[in-house]
């Protein structure tokens, strides 16, 4: 894992707003319209090259493909790559499950009027096919060609932009259809480990190609507000622990320094009043055997949690990648605020162990925009500038 050896490095969580010409292909796919497959492939390749170049120009050190190759959300894209699942429409009166369609949770129950209004303003979050994925057969991996394409596109983009650090975000086992019903597998554990086993092929392909693997697990923190109450924190932790054991199983044999793990509390810009505190889960998160941890830290619900690191020790050799800019507000972070957020963490965990990041991605599905792309790029500019100021403060000199 790259460390901030002589300056604060920068990265982000992965997804970036798709350009309109690429988004149009995804809209057609979503609406079941026909499209030209080779034109799509070409558009995807060119768009990835372009977004890699733009990240490099912005000054982001460790760049992604913007998750441009994903046909569905950050977690559901994997349905194109796994055998064993089928999609079923909801029966009347049936509630959608997490990861399937529109979400429910304690925050939504507390703020129903807000959500009723806000949902209508959200573009690209499709509620068109309210349904859920059901596992009906043994799970296995079939995504070799798709992940291969994503790897090639990103590597090509890196070469063209003349940079060498790229990461590809993929889903964690615990975030793949986290709430099962009518399953092929006997229990949650058998199911989750089967998913983990299958996902290992995807994880390995990325690392074998020389890229950094990022495992995304937003459902891990989010599950709390769906379980508690009536469940307890202990129930939830037990639930989470099994998922993380499965993740570690999937990561077996993969060098830690080539991997990083992202958690967030869900990227929708709601109140987030029921988010589980980081201090209640940080020990579990640190059990994941990776070289870097990407955790929200730039929004009003989690900004104070940098203090968690006053007591918790970061595993030896790993880096912390806090969110220092957020998709939760249109206001572009002042670079001095970004610097302040980085410096206070650097003082706790060591400057070489901090990389500047974002709270979450900016587009969790092919048509989603959490902020307008012009605001997104301004935020990435602020991130880079803030890291420069922090470097100056932490190393007592200007970075090059």
Q: Which residues bind other proteins (CB under 8 A)?
A: 111, 113-114, 117-118, 120-121, 123, 269-273, 298-304, 325-326, 328-334, 336-337, 339-340, 372-375, 378
Q: How far apart are CA 149 and CA 155, in angstroms?
A: 10
At closest approach, how far in Å is the CB of 363 from other proteins?
A: 14
Residue 147, CA distances (Å) to 82, 219, 265, 380 in order? 12, 22, 26, 26
Pick 75 or 326: Cβ nearer other proteins: 326
| Least distance between other proteins and beta carbon 300 (Å) | 4
Cβ-based nearer residue to other proteins, 136 or 374: 374
Q: Which two tokens stand for residue 206?
A: 């990325």
| Minimum CB–partner distance for residue 159 and other proteins (Å) | 31
Cβ proximity to other proteins, 283 vs 336, nearer residue: 336
Of 170 and 342, the one with the shorter C-beta distance to other proteins is 342
Name which of 176 and 376 has its Cβ closer to other proteins.
Answer: 376
**Angstrom distances, CA of residue 311 to CA of 140, 287, 315, 349, 355:** 41, 16, 13, 10, 20
Least spacing, CB of residue 98 vs other proteins, in Å: 20
Does a cis peptide bond (omega within 30 degrees of 0) precede residue 128? no
Closest approach of other proteins to the CB of residue 125, in Å: 12
Question: Which residues fall within 8 angstroms of residue 104, CB to CB, at 6 or more apart?
Answer: 95, 96, 98, 226
Nearest partner of 297 among 312, 308, 289, judged by Cα: 308
Q: Which is nearer to other proteins, 129 or 331 (CB)?
A: 331
Q: How far is the CB of 374 from other proteins (least distance, A)?
A: 5
- Residue 202 in contact with residue 234, Cβ under 8 Å? no
Segment holding 265, helix H or strand E: none
């Amino acid at each position: 894992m790259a460390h901030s050896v002589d300056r604060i490095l920068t990265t982000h969580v992965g997804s970036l707003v798709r350009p309109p010409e690429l988004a149009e292909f995804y809209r057609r796919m979503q609406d079941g319209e026909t499209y030209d497959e080779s034109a799509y492939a070409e558009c995807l390749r060119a768009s990835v090259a372009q977004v890699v170049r733009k990240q490099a120009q912005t000054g982001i050190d460790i760049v992604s493909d913007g998750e441009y190759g994903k046909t569905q959300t950050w977690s559901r894209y994997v349905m194109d790559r796994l055998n064993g699942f089928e999609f079923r429409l909801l029966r009347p009166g049936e509630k959608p499950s997490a990861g399937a369609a529109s979400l429910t949770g304690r925050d939504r129950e507390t703020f129903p009027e807000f959500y009723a209004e806000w949902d209508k303003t959200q573009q690209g979050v499709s509620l068109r096919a309210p349904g859920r994925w059901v596992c009906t057969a043994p799970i296995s991996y079939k995504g070799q060609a798709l992940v291969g394409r994503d790897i090639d596109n990103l590597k090509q983009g890196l070469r063209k932009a003349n940079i060498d650090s790229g990461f590809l975000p993929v889903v964690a086992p615990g975030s793949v259809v986290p709430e099962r019903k009518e399953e092929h597998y006997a229990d949650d554990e058998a199911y989750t480990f089967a998913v983990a086993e299958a996902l290992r092929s995807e994880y390995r392909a990325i690392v074998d190609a020389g890229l950094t693997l990022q495992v995304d697990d937003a459902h891990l923190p989010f599950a709390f507000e769906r379980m508690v109450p009536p469940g307890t924190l202990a129930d939830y932790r037990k639930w989470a622990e099994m998922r993380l054991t499965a993740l570690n199983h999937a990561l077996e044999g993969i060098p830690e320094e080539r991997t990083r793990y992202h958690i967030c509390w869900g990227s929708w810009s709601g109140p987030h009043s029921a988010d589980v505190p980081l201090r209640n889960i940080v020990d579990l998160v640190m059990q994941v055997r990776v070289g870097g941890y990407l955790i929200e830290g730039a929004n009003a619900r989690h900004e104070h949690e940098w203090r968690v690191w006053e007591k918790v020790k970061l595993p030896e050799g790993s880096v912390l990648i806090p969110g220092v800019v957020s998709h939760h507000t249109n206001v572009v972070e002042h670079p001095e605020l970004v610097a302040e957020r980085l410096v206070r963490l650097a003082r706790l965990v060591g400057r070489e162990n901090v990389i500047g990041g974002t709270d979450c991605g900016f587009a969790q599905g092919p048509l989603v925009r959490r902020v307008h792309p012009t605001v997104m790029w301004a935020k990435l500019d602020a991130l880079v500038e803030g890291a420069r100021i922090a470097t100056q403060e932490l190393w007592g000199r200007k970075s090059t």
